Amino acid sequence: MGLLAYGADGYGDELLAGAWVTVQLAVFAYALAAVLGTLMAILTLKPRGVRWAVGRVYASVATGVPSLLVIFLLYYGGTEIVHALLVPFGVDERPSISPFWAAVAALAFVYTPYLADLLRGAIHNVPKGQLEAAEALSVPRRQIWLGVLLPQALRIAYPGFVNIWVVLLKDTALVSLAGLTDLIAAAKVASGSTREPFLFYGVVVVFFVLFAAATIRLANRHARRLDRGVRPSEA
């Protein structure tokens, strides 16, 4: 167990730093995907028209290719892509893109349509009567969205959102192939130089299983709070 010690003798600190990268990556990518997914859900609410068609094409691409490929694309080509996006605004710069942010953007790109699909479905499942009631009370549109529709839709979509979180968390494991020193990369280095692959990869497996379980517990507790007053009879 000395191998897991903190400091120069063990690999505890390296693993911890790697785990921290993994967690940050997952959290940032998920947060970005949630924001973009919400926007996409609202923009593609009606199943027809240009916006919807564009949304479908995007979803088909994002769900049809591996996320690692997108990570590579943004990592190698991110500078050029940002440059091309900035030129129309008269900015001629080539910012360098770090692997970390390339990975965040790539994972967000891939998972946005999944979250958007969930949320769109949930919005359609919010009872129509409430909308009409709000409109009858002449609540402004923006307030209907922010105060009535989205909170309830989020509650309905919540379990799906939690599931996507778990999948995204596991998908972050691929970023080590793009050169990020996340938990996997740290474990690989450690097991390579100590010849103890079972120990270090075992730690990684335990981390992923436990971290997913812990976040799910947290989410479930939060879900119960969201549900308060909605289904008082049920647990």
What is the binding site for another protein (CB under 8 A)?
56, 59-61, 63-70, 72-73, 76-77, 80-81, 83-84, 113-114, 117-118, 121, 159-160, 162-167, 170-174, 176-177, 184, 187-188, 191-192, 195, 197-198, 201, 204-205, 208-209, 212-213, 216, 219
Indicate if the alpha-carbon torsion angle 86, 89, 92, 93 is positive or negative: negative
Hey, what are 22's tokens? Answer: 């993994």
State the nearest-atom distance from the C-beta of 198 to another protein, in Å: 5
State the nearest-atom distance from the C-beta of 183 to another protein, in Å: 9
Complex with another protein: residue 134 or 174, whichever CB lies closer? 174
**DSSP state letters, 199-234:** HHHHHHHHHHHHHHHHHHHHHHHHHHHHHTTTSTT-
Asked if residues 36 and 112 have their Cβ atoms less than 8 Å apart, the reply is yes
Complex with another protein: residue 151 or 179, whichever CB lies closer? 179
State the nearest-atom distance from the C-beta of 128 to another protein, in Å: 21
The Cα 124–Cα 116 span in angstroms is 12
State the nearest-atom distance from the C-beta of 8 to another protein, in Å: 24
The Cα 11–Cα 2 span in angstroms is 9
Complex with another protein: residue 80 or 132, whichever CB lies closer? 80
The Cα 115–Cα 12 span in angstroms is 35
Complex with another protein: residue 24 or 144, whichever CB lies closer? 24
State the nearest-atom distance from the C-beta of 79 to another protein, in Å: 9
